[in-house]
Amino acid sequence: LYWQVLTHAMTPLSVLMIWKGLMVITDCKSPIVVVLSGSMEPAIHRGDLLFLTNFQDDPLRAGEIVAFKVEDRDIPIVHRVIKIHEKKNGNIKFLTKGDNNVADDRGLYKGQKWLERKDVVGRVRGCLPYVGLVAIIVIEYPKLK
């Protein structure tokens, strides 16, 4: 019985260890995210699994796709950086927009006009198309009942 309990506990513990290891390697609290909307189509589709890094030394660039968080939202938003303003002291502010959206994201920023580096959860470094659809189905299935 002891051996069976230990064997069954190893799977979730291994997943947790891999997740924590990815957090350390990528310097990112959420190294893997699932795209929940079609706002970045055709570049990124709903259900794509994205791999993120968040190295502070790398400067942000216009055209880069980032995941960011704003106040009162638990889930990060994944959109493209369209404008960057760098101040003389080295601080930057930037504006984002979904490729499939008509307007920029200022309406999502909850009173802010620009995002700051502290708002970035990570930068998109890789993508597995549609692998995250399973997670979306699990999240949305209970809502359909």
From the list 37, 85, 99, 105, the catalytic residue is 105
Whether 39 is catalytic is: yes
Question: What pLDDT is recorded for position 143?
Answer: 64
Question: pLDDT tens across 28-51, in order?
Answer: 988 999 999 999 999 999 999 999
Instruction: Give residue limits of the domains in the chain.
Output: 28-144
The model carries a pTM of 0.83
**Whether the predicted pLDDT of 124 surpasses 90:** yes
Q: What's the 3-state SS for the chain?
A: CHHHHHHHHHHHHHHHHHHHHHHHHHCCCCCEEECCCCCCCCCCCCCCEEEEECCCCCCCCCCCEEEECCCCCCCCEEEEEEEEEECCCCCEEEEEECCCCCCCHHHHCCCCCCEEHHHEEEEEEEEECCCCHHHHHHHHHHHHC
Whether 119 is catalytic is: no
**Whether the predicted pLDDT of 142 surpasses 80:** no
CATH superfamily of 28-144: Umud Fragment, subunit A (2.10.109.10)
Question: pLDDT tens across 64-117, in order?
Answer: 999 999 888 888 999 999 999 988 887 899 999 999 999 999 888 888 889 999
137 or 31, which is more confident: 31
From the list 30, 48, 79, 119, the catalytic residue is 79
From the list 39, 72, 99, 119, the catalytic residue is 39
